[in-house]
Amino acid sequence: MTEVALQVSNLTTTFGHQGTAVTAVDDISFDVMPGEVLGLVGESGSGKSVTLRSIMRLMPQHSSVTGRVLWQGRDLLAMPEPELRKVRGGEISMIFQEPTTALNPVLPVAVQIEENLRAHTTLSKADRGKRSLELMDLVGISDAKRRLTQYPHQFSGGMRQRVMIAIALASTPKLLLADEPTTALDLTIQDQILKLILDLRDELKMSVVLVTHDLGVVAATCDRMAVMYAGRIVESGPVADVFGQPNHAYTRGLLGSVPRSGTERSPLLSIEGTPPGLMNRPTGCAFNPRCEFATDRCRSENPVLQAMAHGHEAACFHSDRVKAAGWAGS
């Protein structure tokens, strides 16, 4: 058994003041192994992005994060700010959905890469220049010398995402947190960026947490996945196992909602209703109003994650019936 790289336990994030506070992430726990790509998948409002930001303590005022995030024996949530700043952007880097807003529009790319090198490495000025060139090369931007002098608006969407990855990699991180890195990109560019992230994972031996709403992206890139619904992890496990045999009614519905070949023009499995808002979470299992398997127990009691097999877990009272019902992909 190798040692866990990142261990998140009982992470809870709330917004607002007592009395009116809403819970965006509700007591979730998961591990990330060294060199592993973990997919956090869910629909809008499920808390997947807030989870990433909570880990990095990139949360606005009036929010509170509790629980424990263990990174190499240290709790990121309890760490003093100066120490955290060494980890954030250093050992752990983050890339965002919108490279256009994440990059500084008035600074050339070279300055933005160097900024990170200056903060997290001891390289000399000349070496930083050399390293910047290497990083541009690593993320597949040709003509690096000229491109470094350019500003973000002179890059296309895909190229900007590459620049952002270059900045994130400047400190040779051990963990990359990627928040919907390809959602704003076209298919052929998404394909390029996802494969770049996988190549870099192999080359730099880093772990990746990939937040996405796209099940195709999960199937094509992740080793393990955790499905989030209304702030909780409802199912997790190796990607092949979860896709092969979903144990939670929500996962089954989600997988069934995506069209696949061979079933053209037939009705999709779909899930009735819409995901609940932060203000009106149902009691019991949050999925019960939309669930075709729901019973009285689901309406009063919130299920916890139960181990199934091979590290596959699901928080559903009716896993057996969900499995028996089968789904479009099986």
Partner 1 sequence: MGRIMTVTQTLLSVQNVTKAFPLPHGLIQRLRQVPPQAVHALNGVSLDVMRGETLGIVGESGCGKSTLARCLVRLHECDTGRVVFGDTDIASLNGPARRAFNAKVQMIFQDPYSSLNPRMKVRQILTEALSVHQMRPSAEIPARIAELLDLVRLPQDAAEKYPHEFSGGQRQRIGIARALSVEPEVLVADELVSALDVSVQAQVVNLLLQLQEQLHLTVVFVAHDLRLVRHISHRVAVMYLGKVVEIGPTEALFSAPRHPYTQALLAAAPELDPTRRTRRVAAKGELPSPVNLPQGCLFNTRCPQAFERCFKERPVLSAEGAHLSACHLPG
Indicate the pairing of strand 63-71 with strand 175-179. Answer: unpaired
Among 52, 176, 239, 291, interactor with partner 1 by CB under 8 A: 239
Residue closer to partner 1 by CB (options 45, 89) is 45
For the bound state, the minimum distance from the C-beta of residue 238 to partner 1, rounded and expressed in Å, comes to: 9
Best CA proximity match to 6, nearest among 87, 97, 95: 87
Q: Which of residues 18-57 bind partner 1 (CB under 8 A)?
A: 43-44
For the bound state, the minimum distance from the C-beta of residue 289 to partner 1, rounded and expressed in Å, comes to: 13
Q: How far apart are CA 195 and CA 202, in angstroms?
A: 11
* CB-based contact 234:28 (threshold 8 Å): no
Best CA proximity match to 163, nearest among 191, 138, 192, 185: 138
Residue closer to partner 1 by CB (options 67, 158) is 158
Q: Does 309 bind partner 1 (CB under 8 A)?
A: no
Q: Which of residues 130-159 bind partner 1 (CB under 8 A)?
A: 156, 158-159
Among 35, 108, 129, 275, interactor with partner 1 by CB under 8 A: 275
Among 149, 263, 283, 300, interactor with partner 1 by CB under 8 A: 263
User: Of 20-28, 70-78, 144-152, 253-261, which segment contacts partner 1 by CB under 8 A?
Assistant: 253-261
Q: Which of residues 205-234 bind partner 1 (CB under 8 A)?
A: 213-222
Residue closer to partner 1 by CB (options 67, 256) is 256
Q: Which amino acid is at 136?
A: M
Q: Which of residues 186-205 bind partner 1 (CB under 8 A)?
A: 186-192, 194-195, 198-199
Number of residues that bind partner 1 (CB under 8 A): 51
For the bound state, the minimum distance from the C-beta of residue 72 to partner 1, rounded and expressed in Å, comes to: 29
Residue closer to partner 1 by CB (options 30, 250) is 250
Q: How far apart are CA 132 and CA 109, in angstroms?
A: 10
Can you read off the two tokens belonging to residue 240? Answer: 């092949």
Residue 2 neighbours by CB under 8 Å, 6+ apart: 33, 34
DSSP string, 207-267: EEEEEES-HHHHHHH-SEEEEEETTEEEEEEEHHHHHHS--SHHHHHHHHHS--TT-TTSP
Q: Which amino acid is at 44?
A: S
Q: Which of residues 161-190 bind partner 1 (CB under 8 A)?
A: 186-190
Helix pair 187-204, 157-169: axis angle to 10 deg? 10
Q: Which of residues 67-126 bind partner 1 (CB under 8 A)?
A: none
Residue closer to partner 1 by CB (options 96, 229) is 229
What binding mask, one character per residue, do residues 310-329 give for partner 1 by CB under 8 A, x or -? -------------------x
If phi over 0 gives left and psi between -120 and 50 gives alpha, with beta otherwise, what is residue 180?
left
Q: How far apart are CA 5 and CA 326, in angstroms?
A: 35
Residue closer to partner 1 by CB (options 38, 55) is 38
Residues that bind partner 1 (CB under 8 A): 43-44, 156, 158-159, 186-192, 194-195, 198-199, 213-222, 239-240, 243, 253-254, 256-261, 263-272, 274-275, 290, 329
